[in-house]
Amino acid sequence: MDNALKILVDADACPVKAEIIKVAQRLEIETVFVANSWLRLERDPLISMVVVPGNFDAADDWIAERADGNTIVITADILLAERCVTANAWAVLGPNGKPFTANSIGMAVATRAIMSDLRAGGAQVGGPPPFSKADRSAFLSALDLAIMRHCRRG
């Protein structure tokens, strides 16, 4: 059984692509960026790009089908995060470093549904705060922690 760690990135709107690439190169971790259209990425044998054609959820489907106990998934999409947590991905992280876990994903999905209902009803609800340096730092810390936990696992 191959227990090499792999990073899967929901890349369309990911603000931490450069950080992921640096970590992947430094620690020699295979990383796949998945998107609906081509993204320009650094050339490296460990870094690859998958462009998924078709429907809106094609990238999510591709990632969720490959998430397992040796996969770190990076996504801001709560429904994709839920699918990956259910698939027992090693770690599921938001680009702000927030981990999605079996204990937290239910509340995140419920909050998403409430906000969606409020918007559909015409309520003016604010979006997430702007992405900050603190978010970037928290993401790097969370990614390092997930990788180190996997390495210690054996």
CB 59 within 8 A of CB 34: yes
Residue 111, number of CB atoms within 10 A of its CB: 11
Is 103 a member of any domain? Answer: yes
Is 42 a member of any domain? Answer: yes
Instruction: Output the pLDDT for position 32.
Output: 97
Instruction: Output the pLDDT for position 1.
Output: 44
Is 12 a member of any domain? Answer: yes
Range of the domain at 46: 6-153
Nearest to 11 by CA among 43, 45, 46, 51: 51
What is the tally of structural domains in the chain?
1
- Strands of the sheet containing 30-35, edge to edge, are 47-51, 30-35, 6-10, 71-74, 91-93, 99-100
Element (H, E) at 51: strand 47-51
Task: State the pTM of this model.
Answer: 0.85
| Residue 57 to residue 79: CA distance in whole angstroms | 10
Element (H, E) at 116: helix 105-120
- CATH at 37: 3.40.50
Vertex 86 angle, CA 41 and 105, to 5°: 85
Q: Which two tokens stand for residue 72?
A: 């770190």
> What tens digit of pLDDT does each residue of 68-98 get?
999 999 999 988 999 999 999 999 999 999 9
pLDDT in tens, the chain (154 residues): 467 999 999 998 899 999 999 999 999 999 999 999 888 888 899 999 999 987 778 999 999 999 999 999 999 998 899 999 999 999 999 999 999 987 776 666 566 566 666 667 776 666 667 889 999 999 999 999 999 999 998 6
Is 32 a member of any domain? Answer: yes
Is 1 a member of any domain? Answer: no
